[in-house]
Amino acid sequence: MKNTDIWGKVVGFIIAGLYLVFFEGNQTFEWILFALVLFTVGIPHGALDHLLANPHIQRRDLTRFILKYLGIIMLYLLVWTMIPALALISFLIMSAYHFGQSHYLRERLLIGKGFCYLGTGAFYLGAILLGNFEQTESILSPIVAIGSFYDVGLLLLGTSVIAVFFILRKNKQIHYPIYLAEMLILGTLLFYLPLLVGFILYFGFWHALPSMSEEYQSLKFSLGDNRLSQFFLRMLPFTAASIIGMGIILVILYPTNTTQELTLLFFVLVSLISAPHIWYMNGFLESRH
Ligand SMILES: CC1=C(/C=C/C(C)=C/C=C/C(C)=C/C=O)C(C)(C)CCC1
């Protein structure tokens, strides 16, 4: 699985190309693509957090881990219900950091690491959301009115590329032109793709798959024989729990809510499982060096 991340990005570009040439506006294609990427890499990449914390975790520690994970989820749910705008802003900042982090899995950033993660992730997330501003605005309308933030968003997009450029250039060991080229090419593509297509391609092939590959590299020695099948097998319990849990909530709310409301609810559920995942993943990635 060493070069899976690179192949994944090639596949991501191919799917984007196929979509633009043959399936543009085809909602069936969009939903199938979304579900497929979400179920095969999107959710599973976060289903091994317990092993990243401790590859040989035993029942007692696993229980403690689950309780801690659920505690973070509950606390964050409380924030969503009491101060939704704050919960949303924290979700966007956490996500930007987390997405940015997965662009530099093979690098060792010595200067401005946190800002570089944040800037890179903010750029890609910004491209996805600003390129489909009206839809983003309408999904978020039950929480906040973002209508007047378009120009600020564009400014943030420009600032983040420039900031990342300077940070990467300061890190002399990094070959920065490749990252900038990727930002410009992928950023433009994500800006023009529809919201959920752009999001799922980026999430699946630029974030989840590279992260999964890194998880495998780190866990493979503790997986015994048939390590690849063991790796996938161990993802099953928490993947299934997340999909079933989120599915039940969405199915119950389906009859009384619009598609926009269900989309927002889906992302709120994603944010709930992402909060502890981002925390544990950061601990895992930062402990490698
Ligand atoms: C696409 C999209 C949104 C943002 C989603 C994000 C930020 C997802 C992050 C997922 C993460 C961090 C997963 C972890 O592995 C909004 C603004 C909620 C609503 C409009 C559509």
pLDDT tens, residue by residue, 113-135:
999 999 999 999 999 999 999 99
| Top mutation candidate among 72, 89, 136 for ligand 1, by most atoms within 8 Å of CB | 136
Length of the chain: 289
Question: How far, in Å, is the centroid of ligand 1 from the Cα of 90?
Answer: 11
Ligand 1 atom having least distance to the Cα of 268: 18
Atom 5 (ligand 1) nearest CA: 267
SS3 3: coil
Question: How far, in Å, is the centroid of ligand 1 from the Cα of 59?
Answer: 32
271: Cβ contacts below 8 Å, ≥ 6 apart: 76, 80, 87, 91
The mean of the pLDDT values for the chain is 96
- According to DSSP, residue 107 is labeled -
Distance (Å, whole) CA 135 – CA 133 = 6
* Pocket residues: Cβ below 6 A from ligand 1: 46, 91-92, 95, 98, 125, 129, 136, 139-140, 195, 199, 267, 270, 274, 277
Distance (Å, whole) CA 277 – CA 71 = 12
Atom 17 (ligand 1) nearest CA: 136
Question: How far, in Å, is the centroid of ligand 1 from the Cα of 267?
Answer: 6
Question: How far, in Å, is the centroid of ligand 1 from the Cα of 9?
Answer: 19
Ligand 1 atom having least distance to the Cα of 45: 15
Compute the Cα dihedral for 192, 259, 239, 82 and give only its sign.
positive
**pLDDT category of residue 2 using cuts at 50, 70 and 90:** low
SS3 144: coil
Atom 13 (ligand 1) nearest CA: 274
pLDDT tens per residue across span 135-176 = 999 999 999 999 999 999 999 999 999 999 999 999 999 999
Per cent of the chain over pLDDT 90 is 97
Atom 18 (ligand 1) nearest CA: 267
83: Cβ contacts below 8 Å, ≥ 6 apart: none
Q: Note the ipTM here.
A: 0.98
Q: Provide the whole-model pTM.
A: 0.96
Atom 20 (ligand 1) nearest CA: 136
What pLDDT is stored for residue 239 in this prediction?
98
Residue 144's identity, in one-letter code, is V
What pLDDT is stored for residue 3 in this prediction?
85
Check if the beta carbon of residue 262 is closer than 8 Å to that of residue 253: yes
Packed helices 84-101 and 59-82: angle between N→C axes, nearest 10 degrees: 130
Atom 21 (ligand 1) nearest CA: 136
Distance (Å, whole) CA 69 – CA 272 = 10
Ligand 1 atom having least distance to the Cα of 91: 7
Distance (Å, whole) CA 139 – CA 137 = 6
Check if the beta carbon of residue 100 is closer than 8 Å to that of residue 116: yes
Atom 15 (ligand 1) nearest CA: 274
- Listed by start position, the domains of the chain span 4-286
Question: How far, in Å, is the centroid of ligand 1 from the Cα of 10?
Answer: 23
SS3 104: coil
What pLDDT is stored for residue 140 in this prediction?
98
Question: How far, in Å, is the centroid of ligand 1 from the Cα of 165?
Answer: 24
The region that residue 224 occupies, defined by phi over 0 for left and psi between -120 and 50 for alpha, beta otherwise, is: left
